[in-house]
Each structure stands twice: as structure tokens, then as C-alpha cells.
Structure 1
């Protein structure tokens, strides 16, 4: 296993072996800045350079200080918005109780915990999930890396404490699973900006960037596909929460109301984008850039916070995300130990009383016909395997179009997990059939018309198998109280077009064993990454 190499500042030519994990380095930077909070502490709310932060800007009446009639004002709050800062600056202000709240991702919260947990009073308590990055973050790669497994032993460039570390954790988690025993932890190199990594001249195999960064390096994983990887949240100091619990509850209620109205205002095109650009980008003229930030996120509202706060191990819940991200960041040398982050245990349903927030469960993100066309093009172009993020198979008995769902409970759980992680990717269910009988009949010299009929019969059988698996997956999701976007699951029958035993001169290769026949009686499940601009994908950020 290679050591973590840290390249600091802009002096990229000089490197040094890290003497401490990144969370300890961050803690050292703010050592001695702790001050206690009490009920008189000013309510300063930090912003992040993210479209999610349109919600608190709206909640404050588009002003830095709370405007009359705004959602915050209606809750009796006096809020001062602070323009985006990096994690170090936020943490320093947080420890001094200048801003008792931080706006970060869950990965960033894990990095900050070594500092905040040094004192019980300053420990972070998470109380609100804004939503997810949906295309704002990318892991790009240079030649030779075609899958997450290929990240094994690679060198990856990152900006210290960046939000994209959450996406990197998802990539290495997936790579570890794919590579299994052959996995070697990647080496990380860091710099204040990724400019030199845009070419392959710096010895970096992969690097994290914002999606708008220049360069033509391939995108291995984007938060467009892995749109449940980067979770934007608010945390509050323990002592401030204890002294000001009603204030935090009012803040959440106002945010819920603002989030509901913001989605309507985007649709009706009445958002004050100039003010948003001023708050988030420091330039009121950058309206289009502000709109782009909004298109790259998805707010979650009331139901999203209820799901996020589940303590029973919900698929994309706060505890599960923390555990997954922390395990990867620790393996990468960024965390010295896994911290115990906690939730505020708010009753979101009561705080959101009267807010209508059910429509998002009914929205579809994919056009099935456009998706099938896209998948056909990927198969014909030979690149569908390169776009596959997750893959496993389900097998059938001869001439059977049904199967024991219980036998594949673990695989179905993986399907639900993949659907939650990769909401911007297609979940394809490909049915296949055994070509043995077709080959026997062709060898016997049957007329082409009868052979075509046999092809059609096998195609129908493969379609029935795929449809059976799709129905079982949806039923399994209902049984486990997991909401799925049904448009994301595309079932198709491929008949004998792509047998597991391969093609010979465009036809299925000869089959001689029972094992080979069994291998062909299958359904292949894939999570397939697609381009953000694809006509198959209509993300809910367009509301």
C-alpha cells in the first residue's frame, strides 16, 4: 500500500509524506479557537457555492439580513447569511461560535469531527439535509482506467476538504467491491486547485473536479449518475442547540416552506437569480451560472429529511452514509478514526405541518423509449460494458420465465441499493435465452422460416424473464418500504443475440455442456451510466 502524499498550496513540485491524517491536520489548524456558545449567540447561516443554497437565500427574502415577510421572518428569526467559505474558515468561525452552524457535506463533516469533538459543547449535531449534488462533481480519469476497479493502486488528485470527497468515497467503495482481494488503496495527492491535473502530464491517474472544469479527460463517475453520493447538510453546535432548540426548529420549518416555494418559483420563472448570483458567486451579473448551480442539485424537502434521519439503516440515511463515507476516507488516510456524528432527533413531520411534499415520489426521471434506444446504441457501439457501474445475473430453469425471488434476496437488496445510489443511471434488466435448440435445428437443416420462428420464441421467453425480474424487484421494494422511480428500471428481451457463451461469425457459438446451457438461461441486471444531456434522462431539477 502506498503512502498518502500531500502537495500543499501551489508548490506542486515539492511533496512530503503526510505525518498525520487530514482530519488531524484540520484540527491542528483551529486548535485553541474554542469558545462556548449560549442563547445570545448571533444566528449566522453559512452558504455553500451550491444550487441547494437557493433555499436559505429565498428563506431570508434574498437579503443578507432577514427581510420582512420572508419565511425566516415569519418564524421570528433574525438570520445573517454568510457568503461561501472553505471548510477551514467555516470551522474556525464555528469553533469560536461566531457561526454556530456549518454548511457542508457529510464527508466534510467527518473531516471536521476531530476538531469539533475535542470539546463536548462544540460537537456537531446534524439537523437538516438540503439535498444532493446531481452533476456538480466529477471524478475524471486519464487513459488506462475504464472502471472503478481500475482505481486500485492509482494516484488520485483531490483539493483538500472538497465536497467531491464524498463522490470519491463512492468510487473507491465500488472499486473495492469490484476488485475484491486484488484491491490496492489509491495514493492521494492534493493541491489548492486541479488545474495541472487536467492533462496527464503530472502523473495523476484520476482527479476530482467541478463539472464545469475544462479539459477532455474522461468522466469515470459523476454525481449525475451517483446522485445520492454527495449529501449537503447543516450541522449545529451541541451547546447552541441545547440553548436554542426552538430557534433550530423554526429554522427547519422556514427551510421546508422555502424549499416548497422555491421549486414552484423555478417552474414559474420568478426566481431573483441576480440576488442568488450575488450571494453564491459574488457577482449579480452571473445569473446563468447561478441557474446552472440549481440544475446540478436536487432538494429533498420534508420526505427527504424523514428518510435521511431514519435510524434503522435506511439506504441513504444519515447513519449509513456516514458509515460508508467514513470507512473509505479512513482507508484513504484522510480520517484517523471514525467519528460518532449525531442527529438532532427533530420531528420533521410536525415541523412541516401543512406543507404539501408528496409529488416528488410520483415523478419519473426517464423516458423508457429513449432509454431503450440509447441502450441499443451502446450495445451496437460495444461500449455498454464500459458504462456499466454494477452488474449481476439471475438464472432460470429450461423454458422457465419465473424464478424464486427469495433465492435472490441479497441481489435484490443490491438492486435497491444501486437504485438509491445511482438515481441518474439506468437500471437495465436484460433477458436472455439458451440457443441450444436453435443451434440443433439449424444444424439439422431446418428452413430459415422455422429458424426465425424459433428466434422469435426465444426472444419472447427472454422478454418474459426480464419482465418477471422487474415485477419481482418492484414488489421487493414495496415490501421493504423503498420508493423506486419505476421509469428507471428498463426491462428488455435480447433472445439469443448476446449469449454468455459468445458469438461465432454473428451467430451463437456451439454449446456442448449443461453448464454452458445454464449460463445462457439468465437475466443480466446492470446499472448503466448515461450522459447528463441524454434525451433519456429528464432529472427532477428541471421542476
Structure 2
């Protein structure tokens, strides 16, 4: 299928095709804006309409100009905060060096690369990760589009240079994996307004019957179409970052490092202030939303993000292929955006070489790296309810399995390294969802004994033995995955991984009148000897989900 990029500014009834990918159009729009950076009295720092930007607001004393005694002032910084702007406006100011820093998602940074790399001085260098969107962005589908695999060959509405492009990339990656050889890259329809305006927005395009199959929107966008994928579950998809011009970093590295130190200290204090309920949300709303009466909306923005602090930046800056590291995110997002025609090529974005641990001056509280996000008992109760109601398949975002030998209940890493790596990767991507580990057993011997007419009590004992074996398998796999992650210096939230033994209650060969169907071949027996991994979506308000951002 040809990849269509619809020209910005068109109405619903008038569709045209752009001649270039979105990154090239953006570069052409700002051509000629480049200027070298000169001396400046203060550093202009842009904000975004995100709960993550509560941190720089606090760091500046909740004012546009740096307040005495604030974290920025303590680092001898003179900072001016700039109101949230779209990518095009940020890029204009960045290339002219009105502000040498941009506040972006990593997908937006990839779109901006064609413009910024035209001159060596304005090439972007990423130096700080604020954190992740956790519920602020979602991909909604029309009736009949039940999952991301259904996006194959479809049409997706996207706002101009949207921050949520990272989520779009995750959706198409997952859809392609699920659809396999049948996958066909979707067509992208670019609207003239991102969301909330009076123009042609993605949510309006989705509401127009038959116009598009899905739309990338903010979670507070109008409309009641179901979410195919949300950052509530895919909570490691949309990464909010700062980038700085190469020439400015070379001339002012000490200033940028002091900025990072101030942000680390502010991030720690902000979380404590939210917990003790002393944040002035009206002031936050005035800066981020241009509406001091929108304090509750500002509070909601905070609930929809996860700041990562010191340890998060250490993990993000890993150059050895860390699962959610800056290099790996760029590689994945760029590949998907190029496949749908939004990128003309894959830029290689630079990462500042900083010792984040050394820059974390005065930051002592790094416990979030070890905190649990899920209540195990509440999670098990939720899963049990979903199984009883038959809803667990509908709540499953991703599903895969591994197989084993008869009576096996140990799973050494040397045999299952590839499978364990997939589990680690999945758990990291879907930090807001449960990852269940279901142990299953082969019912063939049970069926043989039942056919032989052995007493019911012995059959029940055999069923219980198979149940216990499946539980042991699931628990063993869970421990092996956690040990494998630890050996590879990958942080997994152990509370996210819930092991369950299902015995012979759900064999791969199916049920016949509530009991396992007859098993006649070695292949069928092998199919039943399995451990199934599910990524199970849960509601943000569920008692099973208690993310560290709530403390």
C-alpha cells in the first residue's frame, strides 16, 4: 500500500497528498532560521502541557523568572520559562537560538532531526529524561477495530508533529508482530490540529463515519471510541526529554550540568509536595494550561505521568542496548515512523555524556527503583474475576508462550534465554499492566486414567497433582525471569509478574463439556505442556495498581 501523508490545513472533505515525509516538510518550513548562539543573560527553558513539567516549574519557584532560593537559583542559574508551544514554534526558536533547548518526546525529536542536523551547531544532543506518559496518550479505534493487529492496511489520523507519535510506533510494532506476514503498513492522515482546537482534529476525523480506522489522541480528547492501546498500559512508550544545541552544550556544559542537578533535586521535592498536598495547582494550571481555574486538570496531568529521577536517567542513558534506553527507543520509533512514511530516513540522535550519579547532588531518595506498583493479592483477585467472567482474553494486550518437557519444573536461563529476554522486554514496555505467567499441564495421562475407570477420588487427586505441578512451573519461570533480569542489570517490578497454576483447566487442545478434550498425538501433548505469558490491561483506578507516583 502506498503511504499517504495528508496535507495539513485540509478539511474533512478535501484530501491531498504531500510530496515529502513529515520530517522533510518540517525542515522546509523552518529553512533559513538558523543562527549561531551568542551570549545571553538567561537561559530560556520551554515547558510542555504535561504533568512532567511540574518539575521545572518547581525548580524555578513556580514563576516565569527564577525565584531566589529555588533549585535553579541554588545552582546559580537564571532561567526563564516559556509557555508550551507546538513543535514547529519550538523549532523556530531553537534554530534561531532564542532558546537553545527543546522539550520534546523522542518521536518529535526524530521528526525535528532533518531540520536541526542541517547545521552542525544546531544538531540536537539529548541530556535529560523527564519521564513517561502513563495514561496521557491513547490510540482509539472505530467499531470493528478490536486490536492493533486490525490496523493492518488501515487509516490512522494523527495531529501535526504529535508528542504521542511514540505510542503510534509502539502500536504499529505490536500490530506487525501479531499480524505476521499479513501485516500491511497503515496510511497516515495528518490533520491540521492536534487536539482541542476548532479545526480538523484526530478525534473529529475518527468520529466521521468511515473516514479513518483509528486516531492518536490525548486521553482527555472528546469522543467515546475505545482505546486500542494507551500509555496507561504501555507506560514505557512515550518518553519526555530535553535536547540542547550542540554548539550551546560545547560552550556551556557546566550550565547544562547544573540544570540537570537542579532538576534532580526539584523532581525529588515535587513528589513529596504532591504527597503532602501543598502544591498550588492553580499556579501550575496558569503556566501549563494558561488557565488558573483549571487546577484539577493540572492535577490530572500529574497523575498521567511518571517522573524517573536519577536512576531513570542512568537507565535511559545506557549505551549498551538497555531495553528502554535512549538509543533503543530511537531505533524502534524511527523504524516504525519511517515504515508509515512520517520519516524519510533514520537519524542518529546524539546523547550527552553525563555522569548522572555524580550530578545528583543532594538527592538521597532513590527508592522508587525498588518500589512495587501492584498489590499481589488484589491482582490475583482481579485475574480470578476476569477468568470467571470470561473477560481475560478481552483484557489481554499481548500473549505468547514457551513449551517444556514432560514433568519439567525447572527453567534454566541457558535453555530459555531468548524467551526470558522477550518477557523482560514486554514487562518494561507495559509497566502499567500485569504480566501473568500461567502454568499449564498435559491432561493426556488424566484422560487415560479416566477412560480406564479409576475411582473419582484418585482422578481428583491426579487433577490436584497436575494443578500443583503447573503452579510450580509458573513460579519457577517467574523466579528464573527475575534472576535473568538481575543478571542483565535490568530492573523489573517483581509485583508486576503474577504466577498462576491452571493445571488442566485450559488445555491448548480445548475443553469438551467442561473437561479436557481427547489428546491423541505427541504434538498435541507437547502443545499442552506450556507456560503462557499475558499482558493484562487493568483500570488505572484498580486496587491492584498502586504506582510509586501515588506516594
- How far 1:533 sits from its partner (Å)? 2.2
Which residue matches 2:470? 462
Please give the alpha-carbon distance, in whole angstroms, between the structure 2 residues aligned to 1:380 and 1:141: 27
Counterpart contact for 1:4–1:17, Cα < 8 Å: yes
Stretch deviating more after TM superposition (422-431 or 146-155):
146-155
Which residue matches 2:430? 422
- How far 1:41 sits from its partner (Å)? 6.4
Which residue matches 1:82? 82
Which residue matches 1:116? 116
Aligned pair partner of 2:489 in 474, 481, 494:
481
Secondary structure of the residue aligned to 1:481 is coil
Which residue matches 2:161? 161
- How far 1:538 sits from its partner (Å)? 1.3
Which residue matches 1:340? 348
Which residue matches 1:218? 226
Task: Show CA shifts across 1:170-202 (max 9, x none).
Answer: 111111122222210000112112242342514
Q: 1:350-365 to 2 correspondence within 5 Å?
A: 350-365=358-373
Q: 1:399-418 to 2 correspondence within 5 Å?
A: 399-418=407-426
Q: 1:530-541 to 2 correspondence within 5 Å?
A: 530-541=538-549
Secondary structure of the residue aligned to 2:416 is helix
Secondary structure of the residue aligned to 2:342 is coil
Secondary structure of the residue aligned to 2:234 is coil
Please give the alpha-carbon distance, in whole angstroms, between the structure 2 residues aligned to 1:41 and 1:239: 17
Counterpart contact for 2:281–2:298, Cα < 8 Å: yes
1:217–1:316 Cα change, 3 Å:
same
Counterpart contact for 1:501–1:519, Cα < 8 Å: yes
Please give the alpha-carbon distance, in whole angstroms, between the structure 1 residues aligned to 2:339 and 2:402: 32
Task: Show CA shifts across 1:247-299 (max 9, x none).
Answer: 11111110011001001111111112111111000011111101000000000
- How far 1:343 sits from its partner (Å)? 1.1
Which residue matches 1:93? 93
Please give the alpha-carbon distance, in whole angstroms, between the structure 2 residues aligned to 1:170 and 1:115: 24
Please give the alpha-carbon distance, in whole angstroms, between the structure 1 residues aligned to 2:210 and 2:160: 18
Task: Show CA shifts across 1:207-254 (max 9, x none).
Answer: 111111232211111001111110000011111111111111111110
Secondary structure of the residue aligned to 2:140 is strand
Counterpart contact for 1:142–1:200, Cα < 8 Å: no
- How far 1:542 sits from its partner (Å)? 1.1
Stretch deviating more after TM superposition (43-52 or 11-20):
11-20
Question: Is 1:369 paired with 2:377?
Answer: yes
Please give the alpha-carbon distance, in whole angstroms, between the structure 2 residues aligned to 1:401 and 1:3: 48
TM-score for both structures, normalised by structure 2: 0.96
Please give the alpha-carbon distance, in whole angstroms, between the structure 1 residues aligned to 2:363 and 2:255: 19
Q: 1:15-26 to 2 correspondence within 5 Å?
A: 15-26=15-26
Please give the alpha-carbon distance, in whole angstroms, between the structure 1 residues aligned to 2:179 and 2:456: 45
Task: Show CA shifts across 1:47-66 (max 9, x none).
Answer: 00000000000000000100
How many equivalent residue pairs?
543
Counterpart contact for 1:301–1:357, Cα < 8 Å: no
Aligned pair partner of 2:235 in 216, 227, 231:
227
Q: 1:155-234 to 2 correspondence within 5 Å?
A: 155-191=155-191, 192=193, 193-199=201-207, 201-234=209-242
Which residue matches 1:507? 515
Question: Is 1:127 paired with 2:135?
Answer: no
Counterpart contact for 1:107–1:163, Cα < 8 Å: yes
Please give the alpha-carbon distance, in whole angstroms, between the structure 2 residues aligned to 1:463 and 1:11: 57
Task: Show CA shifts across 1:110-139 (max 9, x none).
Answer: 000101110101111111100000000001
Which residue matches 2:357? 349
Stretch deviating more after TM superposition (364-373 or 526-535):
526-535
Please give the alpha-carbon distance, in whole angstroms, between the structure 2 residues aligned to 1:3 and 1:395: 39
Please give the alpha-carbon distance, in whole angstroms, between the structure 1 residues aligned to 2:42 and 2:98: 7
- How far 1:7 sits from its partner (Å)? 4.5
Secondary structure of the residue aligned to 2:458 is helix
TM-score for both structures, normalised by structure 1: 0.98
Question: Is 1:330 paired with 2:338?
Answer: yes
Aligned pair partner of 1:242 in 241, 250, 260:
250
Stretch deviating more after TM superposition (381-390 or 111-120):
381-390
Which residue matches 2:196? none
Which residue matches 1:526? 534
Counterpart contact for 2:7–2:18, Cα < 8 Å: no
Please give the alpha-carbon distance, in whole angstroms, between the structure 2 residues aligned to 1:490 and 1:300: 24
Counterpart contact for 2:412–2:480, Cα < 8 Å: no
Please give the alpha-carbon distance, in whole angstroms, between the structure 2 residues aligned to 1:417 and 1:515: 29
- How far 1:317 sits from its partner (Å)? 0.6
Secondary structure of the residue aligned to 2:421 is helix
Which residue matches 1:136? 136
Stretch deviating more after TM superposition (4-13 or 188-197):
4-13
Q: 1:309-324 to 2 correspondence within 5 Å?
A: 309-324=317-332
Counterpart contact for 1:41–1:97, Cα < 8 Å: no
Question: Is 1:49 paired with 2:54?
Answer: no
Task: Show CA shifts across 1:380-420 (max 9, x none).
Answer: 33332333233222222222222343221111001111111
Please give the alpha-carbon distance, in whole angstroms, between the structure 1 residues aligned to 2:501 and 2:202: 44
1:244–1:403 Cα change, 3 Å:
closer
1:255–1:403 Cα change, 3 Å:
closer
- How far 1:148 sits from its partner (Å)? 2.0
Aligned pair partner of 1:471 in 461, 476, 479:
479
Unaligned runs of 5+ in 2: 194-200
Please give the alpha-carbon distance, in whole angstroms, between the structure 1 residues aligned to 2:9 and 2:358: 47
- How far 1:10 sits from its partner (Å)? 5.3
